[in-house]
Amino acid sequence: MAEKKRRFKVGYALLPKKQNSFIRDSLVSLAKSTGIDLVKIDLEHPLADQEPFDCVLHKLYGDDWKRQLLEFRAENPNAVILDSPDAIERLHNRISMLQVVSELRIESRSDTFGIPKQIVIYDKETLFDRQAWELLKFPVIAKPLVADGSAKSHKMSLVFNHDGLNKLKPPIVLQEFVNHGGVIFKVYVVGEYVKCVKRKSLPDVPEEKLANLEGSLSFSQVSNLATHEKSDELYYKKMHLEDTELPPQSFMTDIAKGLRQALKLNLFNFDVIRDTRFGNRYLIIDINYFPGYAKMPDYETVLTNFFLDIANRIDGEVVESLDEGNCEEKADSDAS
């Protein structure tokens, strides 16, 4: 009689909003059919006192949760934690999150990548110091320095001149705005899987309009600059998002591999824009931990395969490389 294969338990600790969007019946049932049980972690009780999970999937922060993960890991040395709190915290600062991009060494005959010019401003005095601005030219995007997923961290604006700085509250990051055709590419990374999708973004700001623009605008107001259409929807409909060419899959996969190894993370996405001045120049503008995967095509299959890969590695006692984000990258065959 064949030996019954043991089931693989993934405990998840997520805030209600993330849990509702990610832990869908379609994912739970597909995972279950392959021997993967997704089990909700009881946050009212210590993690170490609960059933021994093979893997802990989380998006929680704070010293107490970090301590619980350390205690759990001490009791369960073969368990995989997705991902390390220390690695995740690097993405909470918009300067440190992009520093890693500059360290990547990726060769391509036809394409280049980098980040927009940017500076960090910690106080009002520096904000109005013209010398601090020698690296940048207007317009600039103002983003909160802290990127912790809160509503506050998503409040961004486009600033056209020094007068527009008055509304800003340091600490902030000022990033040079680059026209990119109104399209942003979101590259999802799930372990070895890489998927690039297109989304609408801030429309281009014509050069002839810049001379007459003053102050600042929130992102929701920016589309009025580029079009006389009565709504964003009409503007983007005319833009033909579906006609926009995706970046080369192999190039995005190489970048994803480099980021994954450098950040020591398995679950993240990064936002990329194509500089319209150079058709083969790509700029990484943001990196997010554990993004909204349910927006990714066929996310249930992608995540289930990822959990199966972890299960196979644990059963084969090859845990360290995955847990540290150092696995060899590969693009899913249908990701192109």
Binding-site residue set for Mg(2+): 271, 286, 288
Q: Which residues are annotated as a binding site?
A: 18, 59, 94, 143, 154, 175-186, 201, 271, 286, 288, 292
- Token reading at 23: 């832990």
Does residue 225 sit in helix, strand or coil?
helix
What are the Cα distances from residue 333, in Å, to 42, 189, 232, 250, 253? 37, 14, 35, 11, 12
Q: Which residues are annotated as a binding site for 1D-myo-inositol 1,3,4-trisphosphate?
A: 18, 59, 154, 186, 288, 292
CA 31 to chain centre: 24
- Token reading at 221: 């107001």
Q: Which residues are annotated as a binding site for ATP?
A: 94, 143, 175-186, 201
Full strand arrangement of the beta sheet holding 8-13: 36-40, 8-13, 55-58, 80-82
Q: Could you report how far apart the first and last alpha carbons of the chain are, in Å?
A: 43
What gap in Å lies between CA 199 and CA 181, rounded to an integer? Answer: 11
Entry field: residues in the chain: 336
Residue 274, beta-bridge partner list: 282
